Amino acid sequence: MAKLPEYFDAERPETPSDVGFETMLRAGRQARAGYNEEGQQIGGAISQVGQQVGQEDNQFYIQREVSDVGVKSLQLYQDATTQYQAARKAADPNDPTFTGKFMDAFNQSPAAQGFA
């Protein structure tokens, strides 16, 4: 027949490690572990939010720069067309080199240099 262990319903005697400084030290270590884990989770969440905001901010400035370049290039095209039409009216209509000369002069202009 199997031998069953005996259990007693008696109070356990207190040992010095159950009271005083060591008990408080053990409780503090357990609490520290919980706070450490929460701190890491909070720090990770803050980091993710920071990365997301940084990416959105970067995307905003890239889009704004692209929009600015689009507006400036349209303005440059309009100005170049106006200059070409005015120069064409003043030039000899039979000059076949007019367009090439105009394009060379336009490409050397500071306005066109910004888009090169």
Q: Give the tens place of pLDDT for each residue, 6-51.
A: 766 666 666 666 667 777 777 788 888 778 888 888 888 888 988 9
Q: Does residue 37 lie in a domain region? A: yes
Average pLDDT of 99-108?
Answer: 88
Q: Does residue 12 lie in a domain region? A: no
Cβ contact 79:111 at 8 Å? yes
More confident residue, 82 or 110: 82
pLDDT at residue 82, rounded to an integer: 92
What Cα–Cα distance (Å) separates residue 69 from each residue in 58, 64, 109? 17, 9, 17
What is the tally of structural domains in the chain? 1
Average pLDDT of 46-67?
Answer: 89
**Averaged pLDDT of the chain:** 82
Domain that holds residue 42: 17-109
Q: Does residue 28 lie in a domain region? A: yes
Q: Which two tokens stand for residue 29?
A: 């270590």
Query: 74, 103, 109, 77: which is closest to 88 by C-alpha?
Result: 103
**Angle 14-16-19 (CA atoms, 0-180°, nearest 5)?**
75
Q: Does residue 5 lie in a domain region? A: no
